[in-house]
Structure 1
Amino acid sequence: MTTALQPPPPSHPVLRLRLAPRADLPRPIDGAWWPRSYDLLVELPRLLAGLPREWGHVTSVTVNGAAWPATAGRILVSNQVVRLRRNPAESAPPTVVLLAPGQGRWDLLVVPPDTAEQAARALMATAAGTLEGGRP
């Protein structure tokens, strides 16, 4: 009997992030993020580590308060303090807003962690303004 060797799973799950192509005009949504849980203290460092370097250091993050459990007002990510804010309005959009001083602001649609894969991928492609092949 032959047993196929399976590669070990990655030590860190792959970041599920899809960003819109760069454009000269501002966009209402800059992409989509599909976290694996509602644990912001676990998910946020993964997100910030996976952002493009040209976005600079994100110092402030605002999330929909209805979607995420209460957390501390600040967390340490890669030896940098990141301020966490929650939008308490029930009608707040399902987004995460990232601010980097001198670099800009980015709004990402947050796909709920328990969304089925096919639906999540479709939402992410729509938010990023691309089709599955990466074409606009």
Structure 2
Amino acid sequence: MTATILLTPAVEDRTPSSLPPRLVLAPGDTAPALIDGAWWPRSRDLAAELPALIEVLDPLWGRITRVTVHPTFWPVIPRKVPVHGHVVHVGWFEAEQDPHKLLLLSYTVGRWDLLVVPPEREPVTAARLMTMAADPSWSLTATGLIQEAERFRAAAEAEADSDSYREAFWDSEGGHDARHPDSRTPDRAVIGHVPTPAEGV
């Protein structure tokens, strides 16, 4: 299986569960990684968000029967979530589970770990996180991926601030005109004596 990304813009008159999930999966023919992909839910309402995710994953991974989350980022954790044709049991672990990870279990195939991209993340950072999570060369935990994306964002902001500072400094020193002295008008003209060949030097 190759990486699959299902990203759709939100439609105001549709509920979260009726929208396709924003999901990317790592290629299935690669070595096992710490993360099998990423999911970018539209909210922190598990009862509303999980059904669409499970409906996409059931045909790919076998029927998902259990999901576990970390309670830090989910205000309400339902014990059961009805999904098309079956019920998914939901549990939580505080000390044993990465706060940014969703663990999915299938009784026929096994287990998968998805990075949960925070719903409030801006699209550029969310897309970067999803790409990193689907790339087997990143051997980071879910929290490690979040921290790496945050470092990248902070570095990009610092670079933008530095560029703004350099531009402001350049402008304060004359900007574009500083590179072309003849385009600037001197305060007073300086006239010097230029000797003729007969006068010698």
TM normalised by structure 1 equals 0.81
Instruction: Considering Cα pairs closer than 8 Å and 6+ residues apart, tell me whether 1 or 2 has the greater RCO.
Output: 1
Of 84-93 and 41-50, deviating more is: 84-93
TM-superposed deviation, 1:24? 5.0
Query: Are residues 1:19 and 2:52 paired?
Result: no
Q: CA deviation at 1:52?
A: 5.8
Give 1 or 2: higher helix fraction.
Answer: 2
Q: CA RMSD, aligned part only?
A: 2.0
Match of residue 6 from structure 2: none
After superposition, the Cα gap between the structure-2 partners of 1:15 and 1:54, relative to the gap in structure 1 and judged at 3 Å, is: closer
Greater Cα offset, 35-44 or 61-70: 61-70
Aligned 8 A contact 1:59 1:101 in 2: yes
Which residue is equivalent to 1:31?
A: 37
Map of 2:124 onto structure 1: 118
Q: Which runs of 4+ in 1 moved over 4 A?
A: none
How many Å separate the matches in 1 of 2:58 and 2:83? 16
State whether residues 55 and 103 of structure 1, in contact with CA within 8 Å, keep that contact through their aligned partners in structure 2: yes
TM-score of the aligned structures, taking structure 2 as reference length: 0.56
Provide structure 2 residue ranges, at least 5 long, that are not aligned to the other structure.
1-10, 137-201
Higher strand proportion (structure 1 or 2): 1
1:59 and 2:59 aligned = no
Tell which structure's C-alpha radius of gyration is larger. Answer: 2
| Alignment correspondent of 2:74 | 68
Aligned residues with identical type, % of pairs: 43
Deviations 1:30-49 (A, max 9, x none): 00000000000000001111
SS of the residue 1:121 aligns to: helix
Look up the equivalent residue of 1:29 and give its one-letter code: I
Does the Cα contact within 8 Å between 2:46 and 2:76 map onto a contact in 1? no
**SS where residue 133 of structure 2 aligns?**
helix
**2:124 alignment partner AA:** Q
* Structure 1 segments unaligned to the other structure (5+ residues): 1-8, 131-136
State the match for 1:134 in structure 2. none
CA distance in 2, matches of 1:28, 1:90: 15
